[in-house]
A and B are shown apart, each in its own frame.
Chain A
Amino acid sequence: MTKKCIFLIALWALLILPGSSLAKDSDDLLLDIPFQQIQEQARDTKVRWYMFGGWAHVNDWVDTYVAGEMKKQYNIDLIRVPMDAGIFINKLLNEKAAGKKIGNIDLLWINGENFKNAKEAGLLFGPFAEKLPNVIKYVDPKSMTHDFGYPVEGYEVPYGRAQFVFEYDRASISTPPKNMDGLKEWIHSNPGLFTYPQPPDFTGSAFIRQIFYAVTGGHEQYLSGWDPDLFAQKAPLLWDWLNKIEPFLWQKGQTYPKDSAVLDTLFSRGEVAFGMSYHPSHAQNKIQEGSYPNSARTFVLADGSIYNTHFTAIPFNGPNKAGAMVLADFLISVEAQLSKYNPDKWGDFPALDLARLSPEESKKFQAVDLGPATLGSDILNPVAVPEIPTEFLEALEQGWKENVLDK
C-alpha cells in the first residue's frame, strides 16, 4: 500500500511539475528572429494541422494542394487532423491543466467563441500574426483587429472569409424572398417547408443573429460591446419573430435539425425548400459533389447577411511553432488564396485585401469562375454586415433555448 501511495504521488508530481523551461525560451525567441530564420527552422519538419473535418472537398484541398506545396517548398510533412474546434479547445485545456508543455497540435483552424475561450484560458501562442510576410503585405490590418468583437491582438492569422447565404432550388421556387418580411410570409404560406439548425449549431446560431439584426434595427448598436440592458430590451423582438414562425416550420417546429449537415440532407431530399450556409460556395460544392440538384441557387436578404473571417492560430504547447508559422503564412499567400477561391477546390473567399495585389494578381482572382450557384461580390458586399460580439452570441444561444425551445 505504501508503495502504491508513493507511486501515485510520484505520478502526480510528474504531471504537475513544470517541464523543461528550455522550450519556453526558444518559443519566445521565435517572435524576435527574422522570418527567414523561422523558415530555415521549419524546413524538414512535420506540422499537424487540427481543423474541422466535415467537408470532403476541403480535406482534399488540404491533403493534395496544401500538403504538396508545403512538401515542395519546405520539405514539410503536413498532417491534417480532423477535429471540431470545441473538442481541441478542451484537449488543450486538459493539457494545460496537466502541465503538458509539449503537445501534439501545431496549428488550429479557429474563430469566434472558440478563439475567445482559447485566448482567455491562455491556450494560444503569440502574438505572431504581424511577423508573417504575407500578412504584412496583403492583409488589411483593419480586417484582423477583432474576431466576433473580441480583440485578436495578433494571436491568430486570417485565412478565409465567409458570408451567410440561403439556398433554394430554382426548379421549385422561381423567386426566393427578398427580405425578412418576405421570408416570414413565405414560411406562413408554405407550412412545413422551412427550418433552421438548432443553436448552438454554428449555422443555426448565425441564422438567429441575422434575424436579430433585422428585427431590432440593424447591427451598429451592438458593435460597441456587451450591453445587458440593450440585450434585454431588444431580444424579445427576436423571440417573438421566431415563435411566430415556429408552428409553420418543418415538423411544426416540434424539433429542429441538430446541425447544418442534417439541414443539408433535408434540403437535398426535398423535405424542406431552403438550405442555409455560412459559406457562399457551399451550394456550388454540393452540386459538384452530386448531392444538390443542378438547379440549386443561393440568395441573400436585403436586411443584411453576416460575414466573418476564419483564422489559424498556434497553441501554447505546439511542438513545431516555426513550422506552424510557415504554414499559416503560406495559407494567406496569394497562390494559396487563389487556389482556395476556385470552386473546384473549395470556393472559400479570400481574406486578402484585393486592393493590395498587383494588377496581374488581381486579374487572376477576377477570372475565377465561381459557378452558377455562388453569388458574386457585387451582390454579397452591399449586404455584408459584421459579426456580433461573442457575449451577445452566447446570450442569444442561451436565450433561444429558454424563450423558443423551452417556452
Chain B
Amino acid sequence: MLPYLVLFCGGVFLTVCQSFGVLTPLPYGGGALDAYGKLMGDPSFFASFFFSLGVAAVSALFSVAAGTFLAYRVWQLPRQLASAALVYKIPLILPHISVAFVILVFWSPSGIMSSMAHSLGFIQTLHQFPNVLYSGWGIGMILAYTLKGIPFAMLLVMVLLVRFDIRQVQTAAMLGASGLRIFFTIVLPRLAPAMHTGFIILFLYSFGAFDIPYILSESRPGMLSIHVYNLYFKHDLARRPEAMAILVIMFCFSLVFIIVYSKIVNHLDNGVRKL
C-alpha cells in the first residue's frame, strides 16, 4: 500500500501539478490553464488523439476476436496436438520493442517481404512494394500490437475454456446445432468476461504505449505518446506543462473509459439470461 501511494500517487500528483505550471523545473510564467488551452486550440493534438485511439481500438478488437477464435480452436484440438499449439505463447515472451523490429524487418519497402516478392517476380523494383508501414493508417503498429495481443487474449480466454464443460458443446451438437451456433450461443457468452478484460487492457495499453510507436509510427498523424516524448525530452523546458497536460488528459480518458465500459458491460449482462 505504501509504495503504491508514494510511487504511483506521487507521480500522478506531480504530473497534475506540472500540467498547471506548478513545481516545474523552470519557474512558469503563464496561467494555470495555459497548457490545456493551447492543446484545446491545436487541431494536430486532436488528430493525434483520435489517431492513437483508432490504432488502439482496431488492434485491441482484432486481437480479442482472433485470440478468442484461435483459443477455441486450440481447445478443440486432440490432446497430442494441443501441446504443440503452445507455440502461440512465443510472442508473449517477446518484448514489444522486438515485435516492432520484426514488423519493420519484414514489411519495410526494402525488407524481407519486399525482397521475397522481388525474387518471386511479383515486383520489379522495391518502390512497387505496397506501402504497409507508411500508409498513413498505422498498419505497421496495428500489425505489431495484434501480434502481441492475440496470444495475450488467447491466454485469458484459455483460462475460462479449461474449466468449460465440453459436454455442453457435445449435447448441443447432438441436438443438431451448427458449429457457428454453438460458438456464438454457448461458448461465447461464457468467454465474455475474459474478452472484456482483454479488450480493456490491450486497448488502454496500445493507446498510451511508447515502444511500438517509437519504431513504427509515422510522422502524420503522429501517435500521442511520441508527441509527449518529444515535448518532454527534446524541447525547451518551458514547454514541460504541455507535455504533462497531455499525460493528464490521457490518464483521465483511460479512467473514464474503464468506468463507462464496465457500466455498459454490466448493463448488457443484466439483460442476458444467465446459463
Question: Interface of A with B (CB < 8 Å)?
Answer: 4, 7-8, 11, 84, 86-87, 90, 93, 96-97, 113, 116-117, 120-121, 192, 198, 200, 251, 254-256, 258, 269-271, 390, 394, 397-398, 401-402, 405-406
Contact A271 B110 (CB under 8 A): yes
Contacting residues, chain A, for B127 (C-beta < 8 A): 192
A397 with B235, Cβ < 8 A, contacts A7-B2, A271-B109 known: yes
Inter-chain CA distance A390–B6, complex, in Å, is 37
Inter-chain CA distance A120–B236, complex, in Å, is 11
Contacting residues, chain B, for A405 (C-beta < 8 A): 44, 219-220, 222
Contact B6 A394 (CB under 8 A): no
Contact A121 B25 (CB under 8 A): yes
The smallest C-beta distance from A324 to any residue of chain B, in angstroms, reads: 23
B234 at the interface (CB under 8 A from A): yes
Contact A269 B110 (CB under 8 A): yes
The smallest C-beta distance from B54 to any residue of chain A, in angstroms, reads: 17
Inter-chain CA distance A117–B25, complex, in Å, is 9
| Chain B residue at minimal CB-CB distance from A7 | B2
Contacting residues, chain A, for B232 (C-beta < 8 A): 86, 90
A–B pairs, 10, beta carbons within 8 Å: A93-B237, A97-B23, A121-B26, A192-B127, A254-B134, A255-B220, A258-B217, A398-B235, A405-B220, A406-B44
B214 at the interface (CB under 8 A from A): yes
B233 at the interface (CB under 8 A from A): yes
Contacting residues, chain A, for B2 (C-beta < 8 A): 4, 7-8
Inter-chain CA distance A251–B214, complex, in Å, is 18
The smallest C-beta distance from A406 to any residue of chain B, in angstroms, reads: 4
B179 at the interface (CB under 8 A from A): no
Inter-chain CA distance A175–B238, complex, in Å, is 44
Residue from B2, B47, B222, B237 with most neighbouring chain A CB atoms (10 Å): B237
Contact B26 A86 (CB under 8 A): no
Inter-chain CA distance A183–B2, complex, in Å, is 61
The smallest C-beta distance from A38 to any residue of chain B, in angstroms, reads: 30
B91 at the interface (CB under 8 A from A): no
If A251-B131, A255-B218 are given as contacts, then 13 extra A-B residue pairs at C-beta distance below 8 Å, sorted by A number, are: A4-B1, A8-B5, A86-B234, A87-B233, A116-B236, A117-B237, A198-B219, A200-B230, A254-B220, A255-B134, A394-B235, A401-B44, A406-B220
B193 at the interface (CB under 8 A from A): no
Within 8 A of A (CB), among B15-51: 23, 25-26, 43-44, 47
| Chain B residue at minimal CB-CB distance from A193 | B127
B256 at the interface (CB under 8 A from A): no
Ranked nearest first, the 7 interchain pairs of A and B with the lowest CB-CB distance are A86-B233, A255-B218, A406-B44, A200-B234, A269-B110, A255-B219, A256-B219
Contacting residues, chain A, for B214 (C-beta < 8 A): 258
Inter-chain CA distance A218–B4, complex, in Å, is 56
Within 8 A of A (CB), among B47-83: 47
Question: Interface of B with A (CB < 8 Å)?
Answer: 1-2, 5-6, 23, 25-26, 43-44, 47, 109-110, 126-127, 131, 134, 136, 214, 217-220, 222, 230, 232-237
Contacting residues, chain A, for B44 (C-beta < 8 A): 401-402, 405-406
| Chain B residue at minimal CB-CB distance from A394 | B236
Inter-chain CA distance A123–B43, complex, in Å, is 35
Inter-chain CA distance A113–B110, complex, in Å, is 35
Inter-chain CA distance A406–B219, complex, in Å, is 9
Contacting residues, chain A, for B126 (C-beta < 8 A): 271
Contacting residues, chain A, for B47 (C-beta < 8 A): 406
The smallest C-beta distance from A221 to any residue of chain B, in angstroms, reads: 22
| Chain A residue at minimal CB-CB distance from B109 | A271
The smallest C-beta distance from A228 to any residue of chain B, in angstroms, reads: 15
Contact B26 A120 (CB under 8 A): yes
Contact B6 A251 (CB under 8 A): no
| Chain A residue at minimal CB-CB distance from B131 | A251
Contacting residues, chain A, for B237 (C-beta < 8 A): 93, 117, 120-121
Contact B6 A8 (CB under 8 A): yes
The smallest C-beta distance from B86 to any residue of chain A, in angstroms, reads: 35
Contacting residues, chain B, for A401 (C-beta < 8 A): 44
Contacting residues, chain A, for B219 (C-beta < 8 A): 198, 254-256, 405
Inter-chain CA distance A87–B26, complex, in Å, is 17
Inter-chain CA distance A354–B222, complex, in Å, is 46
Inter-chain CA distance A86–B25, complex, in Å, is 14
Contacting residues, chain B, for A271 (C-beta < 8 A): 109-110, 126
Inter-chain CA distance A82–B92, complex, in Å, is 29
Contacting residues, chain B, for A7 (C-beta < 8 A): 2
Contacting residues, chain B, for A256 (C-beta < 8 A): 219
Contacting residues, chain A, for B131 (C-beta < 8 A): 251
Inter-chain CA distance A196–B101, complex, in Å, is 21
Inter-chain CA distance A402–B42, complex, in Å, is 9
Contacting residues, chain B, for A198 (C-beta < 8 A): 219
| Chain A residue at minimal CB-CB distance from B2 | A4
The smallest C-beta distance from A5 to any residue of chain B, in angstroms, reads: 11
Contact A11 B6 (CB under 8 A): yes
Contacting residues, chain A, for B110 (C-beta < 8 A): 269-271
A93 with B233, Cβ < 8 A, contacts A254-B219, A256-B219 known: no
| Chain B residue at minimal CB-CB distance from A270 | B110
Inter-chain CA distance A117–B127, complex, in Å, is 42
Contacting residues, chain B, for A4 (C-beta < 8 A): 1-2
The smallest C-beta distance from A328 to any residue of chain B, in angstroms, reads: 24
The smallest C-beta distance from A265 to any residue of chain B, in angstroms, reads: 9
Contacting residues, chain B, for A398 (C-beta < 8 A): 235
Inter-chain CA distance A97–B219, complex, in Å, is 34
| Chain A residue at minimal CB-CB distance from B220 | A405
Contacting residues, chain B, for A97 (C-beta < 8 A): 23, 25
The smallest C-beta distance from A91 to any residue of chain B, in angstroms, reads: 11
The smallest C-beta distance from B135 to any residue of chain A, in angstroms, reads: 8
The smallest C-beta distance from A300 to any residue of chain B, in angstroms, reads: 26
Inter-chain CA distance A401–B220, complex, in Å, is 10
Contacting residues, chain A, for B218 (C-beta < 8 A): 254-255
| Chain A residue at minimal CB-CB distance from B237 | A117
Inter-chain CA distance A117–B5, complex, in Å, is 31
